[in-house]
Each structure stands twice: as C-alpha cells, then as structure tokens.
Amino acid sequence: MIKNELYTWLFNIVYKNGLNKKEARTFAINYTEDKTALKDMIRRFKNHIFKKQIEITILNSIQLQQSVKFEQDNIFKNFKSTYCCSNFYNGNKKKCDICNRDLKF
C-alpha cells in the first residue's frame, strides 16, 4: 500500500516539473524497486519535514540535469589500441592523459 503511494508521489513530483511520462515512470520505479532506496523513501515519506526536503532536492536535481549541455563526439576513424603509463586507450587518441606523451601503438 505505502509502495503505491510512494510511487504516485514520486511520479507526480517529477512529471509536473519537467519530465515526460516515460522518464517520470522510470524515475519512480527506480526508487520503489530498489530495497534500500524504498526503505529510505518510506521513512522520509512518513515524516513531513523529510518529505518536503526530498521534494526540494528532487526538483533541484531535475533542474540541474536539464541545464547540462551535451556535445556529440566525433566518430572514430580507426580502432587501434594504444598504451602508455600502463593505461590502454582505444580510438584515435594521440596523447596520454596522465603524462602527455605520444601514445605507442
């Protein structure tokens, strides 16, 4: 019973504040299907102070996620494996991230 109320509560929070139905459903299911998250959310759901805090946290998180801009990477032209400093790289990388030396093929 409480699991259904919690699912509806989470779904309504995120659906009314920027996510579509599919994303809101997925968000609510992720919390209600995970045992530790469900236990924590039930505790917060019963206490009205925690309930308001989690609503504010969820809304802030959604706003931050929507403000992130994504850039599309260039497609790899070849898939050679390279190595340097015991780190392996796949793709067209020319310099090592750690030591900034040319990579060896």
Q: What is the pLDDT of residues 53-89, one digit of tens each?
A: 888 888 888 888 878 776 776 665 555 556 666 666 6
The domain spans of the chain are 2-67, 71-105
Tokens of 90: 């796949």
| 16 token code pair | 């009314």
pLDDT band at 50 (very low <50, low <70, confident <90, very high): confident
pTM for the whole thing? 0.58
Q: How far is CA 50 from the centre of its chain?
A: 22
Beta pairing partners, 90? 81
Alpha carbon separation from 89 to 7, 23, 72, 76, 81 (Å, rounded): 42, 34, 19, 12, 6
Q: For the residues 45-50, what does the mean pLDDT come to?
A: 81
The pLDDT mean for the chain works out to 78
Alpha-carbon distance of 73 to 85, in angstroms, equals 25
